Amino acid sequence: MKTNLSFDLINGTFHPAEAKNILFTLIKDKINFHELEMFSAYERYGIELPHSKKRVAELKNELLKIEETIKEFEKANADIQIIGSIEMKAVEKKQKHEVF
pLDDT digits (tens, 9 = 90+) for 15-44: 999 999 999 999 999 999 999 999 999 999
Residue 62 included in any domain: yes
Residue 94 included in any domain: no
CA dist list (Å): 11 to 43, 72, 79: 39, 21, 13
Residue 18 included in any domain: yes
pLDDT digits (tens, 9 = 90+) for 57-88: 999 999 999 999 999 999 999 999 999 999 99
Q: How many domains does the chain have?
A: 1
Residue 97 included in any domain: no
User: What pLDDT, on a 0 to 100 scale, did the predictor assign at position 78?
Assistant: 99
Which residue range is the domain that position 41 belongs to?
A: 4-89
Half-sphere exposure of 26 (CA within 13 A, CB side): 12
Q: pTM (2 decimals)?
A: 0.87
